[in-house]
């Protein structure tokens, strides 16, 4: 998470958006629609929900003792570290069938829960913290990969809905139980 997002998290804790409010429901609807677009491989439509200054990060996790738990998230080495341009490249590869790791595509479900929304110092931006569970199945295997974690997003209001401007995903696992991250979380 970039420094500005960390500051936003700390500041936002003082300005929660009420659960069930019109703004909260609009953000929740955005998150559910986003998950549906990704689950149904509508990547071009998902790309339209991304802000052009997007930062999308998935840092690695190390197991640390309780006294060193603050050092368990390593942002200097990441599973994914993308901006808008590199994300568009990933989307084009997946949509264009040139990503061999996803041909045939994985069957994926994204579950987003425990959504908390906070105002930021920018009137059109909201900090959204949520838990996620992603199930992934490949080929004819009866095994499911499970990926759980917490997402910290910055959503920016636009004319009709929102744009995803920042996303940091902290995966719960130190060792991923999936052969690759050829999917979006």
Convert 2-24 to b/e letters by CB count within 10 Å (16 or more is b): eeebeebbeebeeeebeeeeeeb
pTM of the full predicted structure?
0.87
Closest to 46 in 3D by CA, of 170, 152, 124, 161: 161
pLDDT of residue 5: 53
Confidence (pLDDT) at 97: 67
Give CA–CA dist 138/103, Å, rounded.
Answer: 10
Could you read off the pLDDT of 6-26 as tens digits, one per residue? 555 565 566 899 999 999 999
pLDDT in tens, 57-101: 999 888 778 887 777 787 877 888 999 999 999 898 887 766 667
Strands 50-61 and 107-119: unpaired
- Domains, the chain, ranges and CATH? 3-171 (3.10.450.50)
pLDDT the model gives residue 27: 98
Rounded Cα distance, 185 and 172, in Å: 13
Of the candidates 181, 183, 184, 144, the residue with the CA atom closest to the CA atom of residue 167? 184
Asked whether residue 4 carries a pLDDT value surpassing 60, the answer given is no
């Amino acid at each position: 998470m970039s420094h500005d997002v960390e500051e936003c998290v700390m500041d936002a804790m003082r300005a929660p958006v009420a659960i069930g409010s019109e703004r909260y429901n609009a953000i929740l609807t955005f998150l559910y629609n986003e998950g549906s677009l990704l689950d149904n491989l509508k990547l071009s439509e998902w790309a339209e929900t991304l802000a052009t200054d997007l930062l999308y990060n998935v840092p690695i996790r190390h197991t640390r003792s309780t006294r060193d738990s603050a050092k368990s998230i390593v942002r200097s080495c990441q599973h994914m570290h993308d901006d808008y341009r590199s994300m568009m490249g990933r989307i084009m590869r997946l949509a264009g069938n040139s990503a061999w790791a996803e041909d045939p595509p994985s069957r994926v479900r994204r579950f987003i829960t425990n959504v908390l929304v906070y105002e930021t110092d920018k009137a059109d931006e909201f900090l959204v913290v949520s838990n996620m569970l992603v199930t992934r199945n490949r080929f004819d295997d009866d095994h499911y990969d499970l990926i759980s974690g917490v997402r910290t997003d910055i959503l920016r209001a636009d004319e009709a809905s929102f744009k995803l401007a920042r996303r940091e995903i902290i995966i719960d696992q130190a060792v991923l139980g999936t052969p690759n991250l050829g999917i979006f979380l």
